[in-house]
Amino acid sequence: MFHVVRYQHLKLTQNIGFSVRLKLIFPRTLAFVQLWKSWLSTLSLVGDQNIVLMGPPGAGKTTVGRIVGHKLGCRVIDVDDDVLETTWNMSVSEKLQDVGSRQFIEEEGKALLKFSASGSVISLSGSNPMHAASMQHVKKNGIVVYLDVPTRDIIDRLELMKVDRIVGQDSGISMRDILQFRKQFYKKWYDIRVLCEGGLTAEVVADKVLDAVKRYQDSESETFISTRHIRSEMCEQKGSVKYFTEAVVEGLASDGGLFVPEKGLPTFTAGEWQSLVEATYVERAQVILERFIHPADIPAFKLGEIVEIAYGENFTCSKIAPLRYLTGNQFLLELFHGPTASFKDLALQLMPHLFAYCVPKRCNYLVLVATSGDTGSAVLDGFSRLSDTDKQRIAVVTFFPEDGVSQIQKSQMIGCQRENGWSVGVKSDFDFCQTAIKKIFTNSDYSGFLTVEYGTALSAANSINWARLLPQVIYHASAYLDLVHQDIITFGSPIDVCIPTGNFGNILAALYAKRMGIPIRKCICASNGNNVLTDFIRTGLYDLRGRRLMQTSSPAIDILKSSNLERHLHLIASGDGQLVTQLFSELEKQCHFQLQKDLLEKLQQDLVAGWCSEEDCLAAIHSVYSTTGYILDTHTAIAKVVADRLQDRTCPVIISSTAHYSKFAPAILRALRIAEIKQNPLSQLHLLSSYSPLPPVHRGLLKTLKENEKQKHQICAADVNVMMAHIETVIQNKFMKVF
């Protein structure tokens, strides 16, 4: 296995009679961190670095700074009182009146550039971050903490303080607008964010600041282990513990398990969640991701850039994942507004950028993907949006069942092929594709050969990769917050979610959101005729004996081996890697396993399950369209049917609408009894477009099929060795360099 080294910029300081500052670039590996562990433990929380508090006017920086300084026993500096007014020999308000807003920021910056301190708590003014040079000066020897207070709370505080204008607020600009404008400057500079929900005392905020600084300095504590990791008091498995960057790059653990956070999931208080109610999807995404990803792995400013690129103009709806009322107590979470018209875009517009940031620059990477339909086009599109430099060293190959996806899905995958991405049809089903890729990953001889011969390492972009799963947590949390924002519920009121489920990744993300504090009562697992998960959740018996995969009109969930179920079993088994190893060994060798009673009871606390036939799926599409004018795709229809049967209507239920209906045109045409179904995918879309009562087909899908109608793809036999040979050929043709 290729050894991944992540480089981290560490600020190491120690007082030894005089101030010593070391800024070194070291490999971020466990071996290095352990080497320095004893030395680092001797440092105080601050050392000769500063804790720099940043935030809008009214955020409480001065008061919180004094409390933090008192707790640490160090000097406290308020920039307004101790730097600006001392330098100018006049009050800040007098200076502002004397020079005006624009010149004030420049004068303020000049004063700050002449200031230096160490081992102190510094409270910045609200406008300091608007001067780049002075912030760079302050940041050189400081950990910048952003006190993130909701805008509505800031406005209320400023009104109480009788402040009606702040620096930079010209005539005609509202307080809300100028506060929103300033956020772009704050996000450039902070190292860590502290959510300051309404009602907190300054003492509590100060404690949150100290906890955040401790987390920032203790990067070694946030590690990942395999779901099959077996703990031992005598010794740890060599190389079994990874950092986020390593988990993302390696994709699958060497023992065949999936990476999970060693210390569990981060949590939010109810107040912290409520502080995000008025936030945009992009803002919510960054806050949630910051809790999962340590700044040593991806700094906050870089993470913010990645999030904004991922959820930008490539989505047709500015809300990214809007919530739509359907009927009764049912709401649809529309997850198909990305470029390839499925929920996979919510993860795969983000994941490639995370991956590109994490991978070492000295090696080429080939990302392997098994897809039951939607992942293929989404991963090809996502990786095609990387920078030209990254596309030269990162490529992707998707393997899909040649006869196991819809014609439109296949045409879309073929059409999404680019200079760094290819689609390969396999003469088998999805379960074979997924199992084959896992075998390739765990074949250390083969992966080692690729590294030595071609300087190329393998990775994964299926939801077996932690960075693929993580973004899905965001939209489940965001959907609940949207219900609160729309005054449909108050925070704390329970909801159910119903999710069409195949590989268990989407529903697992909802279960994670629940663990993090989102009040989800039940996750309803909806299957088609391939209902192995329904049986398992009801009985605890995961049984593949005698089962054959059925091809249905909802191919994305035509799956019998649900990879991400392993992560959930690891969670409810309290991290018992030995048990997880045993269960999946039994599944591999005997095609079944049985959960013990206590684990089944834990499973059923969060999950209920049902399934839907082809006939009922098509009938639901017809019924919903007849009564509401809305068209469900086949997977969403599965979830709608199961929600109708299992949900008790005592609380709202959010149904995940995982794809745009136009991706499954033949089934939709059949369900709506419109016309004779044509075989050509483009003709199918044109037929849907021509029927004026229907909502429009997905623009991106139609464009892809039009532009790439004659593009070809490779087909290979259902043989792991053949797939390995194909991978080697791709590497030879793409990277053109033998090491």
In this prediction, residue 736 carries a pLDDT of: 63
Strand 142-148 versus strand 50-54 pairing type: parallel
Q: Which two tokens stand for residue 56?
A: 């809008």
CA atoms within 13 A on the CB side of 700: 22
Q: What pLDDT, in 10s, does the model give residues 655-688?
A: 999 999 989 988 998 999 886 666 678 888 877 8
Does residue 36 surpass a pLDDT of 50? no
Instruction: Classify residue 16 as exposed, middle or buried by CB count within 10 Å of its CB (0-12, 13-18, 19+).
Output: exposed
Amino acid code (one letter) for 375 = T
Average pLDDT over residues 540-569: 95
Amino acid code (one letter) for 66 = R
In this prediction, residue 154 carries a pLDDT of: 92
In this prediction, residue 592 carries a pLDDT of: 98
Does residue 337 surpass a pLDDT of 90? yes
Average pLDDT over residues 311-335: 96
What mean pLDDT, rounded, does the chain reach?
A: 89
In this structure, the number of other CB atoms found within 10 A of the CB of residue 217 comes to 20
Does residue 696 surpass a pLDDT of 90? no
In this prediction, residue 237 carries a pLDDT of: 52
Which of 22-26, 261-265, 408-412, 415-419 is modeled with the greatest confidence? 261-265
CB 464 within 8 A of CB 258: yes
Q: Which of the 8 DSSP states describes residue 695?
A: P
Q: Which two tokens stand for residue 697?
A: 């087909």
Average pLDDT over residues 280-300: 97
Does residue 730 surpass a pLDDT of 70? yes
Any idea which of 166-180, 300-314, 470-484 has the lowest mean pLDDT? 166-180
Give 239's pLDDT tier (boundaries 50, 70, 90).
low
Does residue 538 surpass a pLDDT of 50? yes
How far the first Cα of the chain sits from its last, in Å, is: 16
Does residue 203 surpass a pLDDT of 70? yes
Instruction: In whole angstroms, give the CA distance from residue 462 to residue 437.
Output: 10
Amino acid code (one letter) for 173 = I
In this prediction, residue 219 carries a pLDDT of: 85
Residue with tokens 């004030």: 104
Does residue 25 surpass a pLDDT of 70? no
Average pLDDT over residues 355-380: 92
Three-state secondary structure readout of 97-162: HHHCHHHHHHHHHHHHHCCCCCCEEEECCCCHHHCHHHHHHHHCCEEEEEEECCHHHHHHHHHHCC
CB 168 within 8 A of CB 127: yes
Instruction: In whole angstroms, give the CA distance from residue 445 to residue 1.
Output: 8
Q: Which residues contact 198 (CB under 8 A, 6 or more apart)?
A: 150, 153, 271, 274, 275
CB 647 within 8 A of CB 524: yes
Q: What pLDDT, in 10s, does the model give residues 187-201?
A: 999 999 999 998 899
Does residue 62 surpass a pLDDT of 80? yes
Average pLDDT over residues 493-512: 97
- Give Cα separations from 592 to 99, 543, 545, 602, 608 (angstroms): 77, 4, 7, 20, 20
Length of the chain: 739
Instruction: In whole angstroms, give the CA distance from residue 168 to residue 102.
Output: 7
Average pLDDT over residues 195-223: 94
Instruction: In whole angstroms, give the CA distance from residue 49 to residue 142.
Output: 5
- Give Cα separations from 110 to 56, 117, 137 (angstroms): 20, 16, 11
In this structure, the number of other CB atoms found within 10 A of the CB of residue 534 comes to 20
E strands, 450-550, are 456-460, 495-500, 520-527, 541-543
Average pLDDT over residues 625-638: 96
Residue with tokens 């972009």: 461
Instruction: Classify residue 704 as exposed, middle or buried by CB count within 10 Å of its CB (0-12, 13-18, 19+).
Output: buried
Instruction: In whole angstroms, give the CA distance from residue 291 to residue 309.
Output: 20
Indicate the SS3 state at residue 301.
helix
- The residues pairing with 334 across neighbouring beta strands, listed in sequence order, are 657
In this prediction, residue 372 carries a pLDDT of: 81
Does residue 417 surpass a pLDDT of 80? yes
Q: Which two tokens stand for residue 333?
A: 């979470």
Average pLDDT over residues 442-470: 93
Average pLDDT over residues 379-393: 96
CB 649 within 8 A of CB 686: no
Q: State percent of the chain over pLDDT 70.
A: 90
Buried b (16+ CB within 10 A) or exposed e, 30-56: beebeeeeeeeeeeeebbbbbbbbbbb
Cα Rg, the chain, nearest whole Å: 27
DSSP of 647-671: --SSS-EEEEE-B-GGGGHHHHHHH
Amino acid code (one letter) for 466 = W
Strand 19-28 versus strand 6-15 pairing type: antiparallel
Q: Which residues contact 119 (CB under 8 A, 6 or more apart)?
A: 15, 46, 47, 48, 49, 50, 74, 75
Which of 26-30, 181-185, 330-334 is modeled with the greatest confidence? 330-334
In this prediction, residue 359 carries a pLDDT of: 93
Instruction: In whole angstroms, give the CA distance from residue 21 to residue 11.
Output: 8
More confident residue, 471 or 46: 471
Instruction: In whole angstroms, give the CA distance from residue 583 to residue 563.
Output: 13
Strand 323-327 versus strand 330-334 pairing type: antiparallel
Instruction: In whole angstroms, give the CA distance from residue 717 to residue 481.
Output: 47
In this prediction, residue 583 carries a pLDDT of: 98
Does residue 625 surpass a pLDDT of 90? yes
- The residues pairing with 26 across neighbouring beta strands, listed in sequence order, are 8
